Amino acid sequence: MTWRIAATSAIGTSHTKTGQPCQDSVRVRLVNTLAGPILISAVSDGAGSAAHSEIGSRAAVTTATFLVENFLEADGNVGSIKRDTALSWLAQIQTVISTLAAESGASVREFACTLLVAIIAPDSAAFFQVGDGAMVVREQGDDGWSYIFWPQHGEYINTTNFITTSNASEVMEFASASRKIESFSSFSDGIESLVLHYATKTVHDPFFNRMIAPVCEALTDGLDDGLSVSLSNYLASEIVCTRTDDDKSLVLATRREHQPPAADADS
Mean local confidence (pLDDT), 181-205: 96
DSSP H stretches of helix in the chain: 13-18, 53-73, 83-104, 168-171, 192-195, 205-216, 225-235, 238-241
**Domain ranges for the chain:** 4-254
- Of 46-55, 92-101, 110-119, which range is least confident? 46-55
Query: If pLDDT is split at 50, 70 and 90, which confidence band does 261 have?
Result: very low
Q: Please give the CATH topology (third level) of the domain spanning 4-254.
A: Phosphatase 2c; domain 1 (3.60.40)
Measured CA to CA, the distance from residue 23 to residue 60 in angstroms comes to 12
The pLDDT tens digits for 97-110 are: 999 999 999 999 99
Angle subtended at Cα 248 by Cα 247 and Cα 251, rounded to the nearest 5 degrees: 150
Query: If pLDDT is split at 50, 70 and 90, which confidence band does 188 have?
Result: very high
> Which residues, at least 6 apart from 255, have a Cβ–Cβ distance to it below 8 Å?
1, 2, 3, 4, 182, 183
The answer on pLDDT for 151 being more than 80 is: yes
- What does the DSSP assignment read for 131-163? SS-EEEEEETT-SS-EESS-----SSTT----T
What's the confidence (pLDDT) of residue 259? 55
Averaged pLDDT score across all residues of the chain: 92
The answer on pLDDT for 182 being more than 80 is: yes
Measured CA to CA, the distance from residue 205 to residue 145 in angstroms comes to 6
What's the confidence (pLDDT) of residue 267? 33
Measured CA to CA, the distance from residue 73 to residue 87 in angstroms comes to 19
Radius of gyration of the chain (CA): 18
Which has the closest alpha carbon to 186: 238, 234, 263, 119? 119
The answer on pLDDT for 154 being more than 90 is: no
Query: If pLDDT is split at 50, 70 and 90, which confidence band does 199 have?
Result: very high
User: CB–CB of 3/254 below 8 Å?
Assistant: yes
User: CB–CB of 66/58 below 8 Å?
Assistant: no
Mean local confidence (pLDDT), 24-41: 95
The pLDDT tens digits for 78-95 are: 999 999 999 999 999 999
Measured CA to CA, the distance from residue 104 to residue 106 in angstroms comes to 5
In the chain, the percentage of residues whose pLDDT exceeds 70 is 94
Query: If pLDDT is split at 50, 70 and 90, which confidence band does 140 have?
Result: confident
**Which one has a higher pLDDT value, 51 or 260?**
51
Give me the residues paired with residue 27 across strands. 42
| Half-sphere exposure for 161 (CA within 13 Å, toward CB) | 18
Sign of the torsion formed by the C-alpha atoms of 254, 41, 9 and 115: positive
Give the end-to-end CA distance of the chain in Å, rounded to a whole number.
31
What's the confidence (pLDDT) of residue 263? 47
